[in-house]
Amino acid sequence: MRADAEKNRSQILTVARDVVTEHGTDASMRDIARRAGVGLATLLRHFPTREALFEALLCTNLDALTQKKADELEASTSADEALLSWFRELVAFTQSYRGVVAMMAAARTNLDSALYASCAAVHAAGARLLLHAQGEGTARADMSGDDLFALITALGWAVDQPSFAPRADHLVHLITSAILTSPSSNDAKKAAC
């Protein structure tokens, strides 16, 4: 890619992140192009669809969360704490990109979706952490990776709603309490407060 094209692409992604944070996934492609200082045709040349733009926008952060962070948590903490921390991180991620949960849920089983690979990686990382916690007996044995992904997307949707956003931590605690068979030390400390 030419240097100017790479610069435009990078500028579009930087601006898109800000616009999506402000306006959610319904942000105008024209507004993103205008704020990035490029024409709509330039934006569409780099990202021919809204979904392609979101795939590129989410890819870096989502990949870091699903690969590096999941591996890091699995290696450094107990299985239940790793699952709980990862769950919290993913819910926080969905809060930073309003409206992305619906796109992720729709892409989860759509092989043609530009978001499919990222969603599959989220699912795989969560399923791996869940299996590890189940192996240690600290997570419900009757849950699957699909169940975990569904709970994350449901909670992500709920905390995306202004009326539920202030209760995000409490809702995460309720859901994780239903996933874990015994409260982790972090949850026990929070409950005592």
Homologous superfamily assigned to 49-192: Tetracycline Repressor, domain 2 (1.10.357.10)
Q: Where are the domains of the chain?
A: 1-48, 49-192
CATH architecture of residue range(s) 1-48: Orthogonal Bundle (1.10)
pLDDT in tens, 50-76: 878 887 887 767 777 777 788 888 888
| pTM recorded for the entire structure | 0.76
Helices 29-36, 50-63: inter-axial angle, 10-degree rounding: 70
Q: What is the dihedral of CA 62, 66, 72, 78, to 10 degrees?
A: 130
Cα angle, residue 15 at apex, residues 31 and 49 outer, rounded to 5°: 65
pLDDT of residue 165: 84
Residue % of the chain over a pLDDT of 70: 93
User: Per the structure block, which two tokens stand in for 3?
Assistant: 């240097």
Q: What's the mean pLDDT in 166-189?
A: 77
Q: What's the mean pLDDT in 122-134?
A: 92
- Report the distance separating Cα 171 and Cα 17, nearest Å: 26
Burial tier of 112 (Cβ tally within 10 Å: 0-12, 13-18, 19+): exposed
Residue 156 one-letter amino acid? G
